[in-house]
């Protein structure tokens, strides 16, 4: 049984990623808001665009703290952010949905989201993903690394130097692999299951434009930042 040990520099990398991840949380808690009140489709859509806009700003700050990211080609930095913003939002939403909540709260939250204005056809893939993330019971370090790994996906559209991105992603993957082995010694497949979630996350990417444009209301207004990031309007 090989001795798995996280090196000093990997521990330093872990700390930087985790601090950045915790520092860049969404200030206002959307789950609490949704549990407090039932909103109209219009209000929910506005809440989503506000949350998603602040999520993109938070994502940029988080990404700037990923060691090596700012040394990448500047256009590649933009391509990575643009290519991962939707996935990062769904990953964040899944982590919000999977948080430990008092009895019955998750059910209320799910019901509110089901009636928020999203078309019925997207509910199953979206909640399947949220529940599959919840079943992993990820620790904070794993969540932070998974977000960084999602951002550092080399094959996003328009990325020129894919190898430079691959090298950064590989160092994150190596830390995550060791962390999983240490955190879940009984589950040798855990790391593979975690990466499998990233594949499921990409499929949500395909739905997101339609999820927004089919929101049960007329005249969908987006912020300029979301028009940039979400290929809408």
Ligand X SMILES: O=C(Nc1ccccc1F)[C@H](C1CCCCC1)n1c(-c2ccc(Cl)cc2)nc2cc(F)c(F)cc21
Task: Please give the residue ranges that form the binding site for ligand X (CB under 6 A).
Answer: 26, 30-31, 34, 44, 47-48, 51-52, 55, 89, 92-93, 96-97, 109, 113, 116, 118, 208, 211-212
CA separation for the pair 77, 104 (Å, rounded):
41
Give the residue at shortest CB distance from ligand X. Answer: 97
Contact 76, 168 (CB under 8 A): no
Report the residue number, 34 or 229, with the smaller CB distance to ligand X: 34
Cα-Cα-Cα-Cα dihedral of 115, 91, 71, 83, to 10°? -50
Q: From CA 23, how far away is CA 201, in angstroms rounded?
A: 24
Q: How far is the CB of 142 from ligand X (least distance, A)?
A: 18
Residues 4, 33: Cα–Cα separation, whole Å: 43
Closest separation in Å from C-beta 216 to ligand X: 11
User: Closer to ligand X at the Cβ: 44 or 169?
Assistant: 44
Least Cβ distance, residue 141 to ligand X (angstroms): 19
> At closest approach, how far in Å is the CB of 168 from ligand X?
24
Q: Choose between 138 and 179: whose C-beta lies nearer to ligand X.
A: 138
Instruction: Decide if 26 contacts 54 (C-beta within 8 A).
Output: yes
Nearer to ligand X, 108 or 164 (CB): 108
**Closest to 45 measured CA to CA, from 207, 206, 220:** 220
* Residue 136 or 165 having the CB closest to ligand X: 136
Largest CA distance in the chain: 60
Relative orientation angle of helices 190-213 and 74-98, to the nearest 10 degrees = 100
Minimum Å gap between C-beta 34 and ligand X is 6
């Amino acid at each position: 049984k090989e001795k798995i040990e996280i090196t000093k520099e990997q521990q330093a990398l872990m700390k930087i990623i985790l601090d950045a991840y915790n520092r860049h949380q969404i200030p206002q808690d959307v789950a609490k808001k949704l549990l407090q009140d039932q909103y109209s489709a219009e209000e929910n859509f506005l809440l989503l665009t506000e949350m998603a806009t602040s999520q993109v700003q938070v994502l940029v700050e988080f990404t700037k703290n990923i060691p090596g990211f700012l040394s990448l080609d500047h256009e590649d930095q933009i391509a990575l952010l643009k290519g991962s913003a939707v996935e990062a939002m769904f990953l964040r939403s899944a982590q919000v949905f999977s948080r430990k909540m008092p009895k019955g709260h998750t059910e209320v939250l799910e019901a509110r989201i089901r009636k928020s204005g999203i078309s019925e056809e997207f509910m199953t893939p979206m909640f399947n993903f949220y529940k599959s993330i919840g079943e992993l019971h990820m620790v904070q370090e794993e969540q932070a690394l998974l977000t960084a790994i999602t951002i550092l996906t080399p094959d996003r559209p328009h990325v020129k130097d894919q190898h430079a991105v691959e090298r950064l992603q590989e160092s994150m993957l190596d830390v995550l692999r060791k962390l999983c082995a240490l955190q879940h010694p009984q589950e040798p497949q855990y790391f593979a299951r975690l990466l499998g979630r990233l594949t499921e996350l990409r499929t949500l990417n395909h739905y997101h434009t339609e999820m927004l444009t089919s929101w049960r209301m007329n005249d969908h207004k987006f912020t300029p930042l979301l028009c940039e990031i979400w290929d809408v309007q």
